[in-house]
Amino acid sequence: MILYCNTGGPSSRTRVEHVVSSLLGGDGLARCPHQIRWGLDFEGRDPITVLHELLASEGFADAEALRETVSAVGKRLICRPDKAPPLVVSSAPAMDVLSQAMMLGLCTATLYNPSRPVLWTQASLTRRLELFDPEGFYS
């Protein structure tokens, strides 16, 4: 990709930069390998109501009880919005939906943190996220 940059002066100061890597993903020196995508489509239904119904049908007391059954990613990851098609809740297996919901409940808009409590809100459950491992960038 070629990026044209103007440093604010006359056109004689315009320069061309060749971008050879990306901060998220990519194979440059500063790598953040892609880990996983999460997203749920509730098809207009209230996410919290749907998930509480699924929890009850699968025999879980609350969202925190999922931690004992679902294997969560064990380290912090960087999140960014994603446009990939989400998992359609009405046609997916209940445990797949609950697993993704638990993971989304451990995310903010920019960070997945497995040590935080599982928080289910409209915002957290309707996000579509792509997650990256920052280890290659910060090491």
**Per-residue pLDDT tens over the stretch 95-105:** 999 999 999 99
Please state, in angstroms and as integers, the Cα–Cα distance from residue 53 to each residue in 61, 71, 97, 136, following that order: 11, 21, 12, 40
Per-residue pLDDT tens digits for 13-48: 666 665 555 555 555 544 556 678 899 999 999 999
Beta bridge partners of 130: 37, 80
d(CA 123, CA 29): 34
Residue 50 main-chain phi, psi, to 5 deg: -60, -45
d(CA 23, CA 10): 30
Per-residue pLDDT tens digits for 74-129: 888 888 898 889 999 999 999 999 999 999 999 999 999 999 999 999 999 999 99
For the beta carbon of residue 32, count every other beta carbon within 10 angstroms: 22
